[in-house]
Amino acid sequence: MKKLIFFGILALVALNLNAQKVFSTQYEYQADVKVYVVQYEYQADLCVYKESYEYQAGDNDGKWFFTEYEYQAKKKIFFVANEYQADIKVFFVDYEYQAGWKNKEKMYKLF
């Protein structure tokens, strides 16, 4: 029984560490990554699908869950007004299967 509880807790911790949970900061200096939202998919480095539930978020695959509090997030992001200010450019998609990297050279910015 103790082993089952231990492995259950271990699995929950592993799932929590892998999730791409993000928090949108109010100020640029608070962010780990600066993000610009592009108008068209072909302009994006990453296509992002906003998940409704935390457990659905992926591991750096474009499936984001926006947390309510900063401490819950793996990465803190700030949405910039100009493309030249951004570390990555994202395009928000309507369907989960559309999420993913277009420019894999920038993947490291969200690890």
Mind listing the pLDDT tens digit of every residue in the chain (111 residues)?
Answer: 544 444 444 444 444 444 499 999 999 999 999 999 999 999 999 999 999 999 888 778 999 999 999 999 999 999 999 999 999 999 999 999 999 999 999 999 988
CA distance 93 to 33: 20
CA distance 101 to 111: 13
Nearest to 25 by CA among 14, 16, 34: 34
Domain ranges of the chain: 2-110
- Give the predicted TM-score (pTM) of the model: 0.79
